[in-house]
Amino acid sequence: MKVLRRFESAEEKYTLVFLGYAKELDSCVIELTYNEGVSEYDTGNGFGHIAIGVDDCYKACELIKQRRGRVIREAGLLPGSNEVIAFIEDPDGYQIELVEVVNSA
């Protein structure tokens, strides 16, 4: 496993590091988050959420709402970046992040 990408937001005071075995669009990736100034986390059971790449976060949220799904964070820019994300919740209360995938090919 290697570092595929690193993103730092000085304004929002966080750093993201993406780890994987192949390109992000070709395989599963683990995202590690460091929030500056946070000394303790309540991790509960240790599971935060999973993320799924979608072509259009805005359309995905509309479709989910049409099918009576629960959108808990509407599609929009991730603060300090140019990534569009949204969060939904499954019937058991687990969060799923939708990440708009920009194909750079």
pLDDT tens-digit readout, 63-97: 999 999 999 999 999 988 899 999 999 887 889 99
Residue 105: pLDDT band with limits 50, 70, 90: low
Give yes or no for a contact between 19 and 3, defined as CB atoms under 8 angstroms apart.
Answer: yes
Same domain, 13 and 33: yes
Name beta bridge partners: 99: 53, 85
Q: Which domain holds residue 94?
A: 49-105
Same domain, 53 and 24: no
pLDDT reported for residue 33: 87
Same domain, 28 and 68: no
Give yes or no for a contact between 66 and 88, defined as CB atoms under 8 angstroms apart.
Answer: no
The verdict on pTM exceeding 0.85 is no
Count: domains in the chain: 2
Same domain, 6 and 53: no
CA–CA distance, 57 with 98 (Å, rounded to integer): 6
Same domain, 83 and 101: yes
Same domain, 28 and 66: no
Same domain, 69 and 86: yes
pLDDT reported for residue 68: 94
Same domain, 35 and 70: no
Indicate which residues carry an active-site annotation. 97
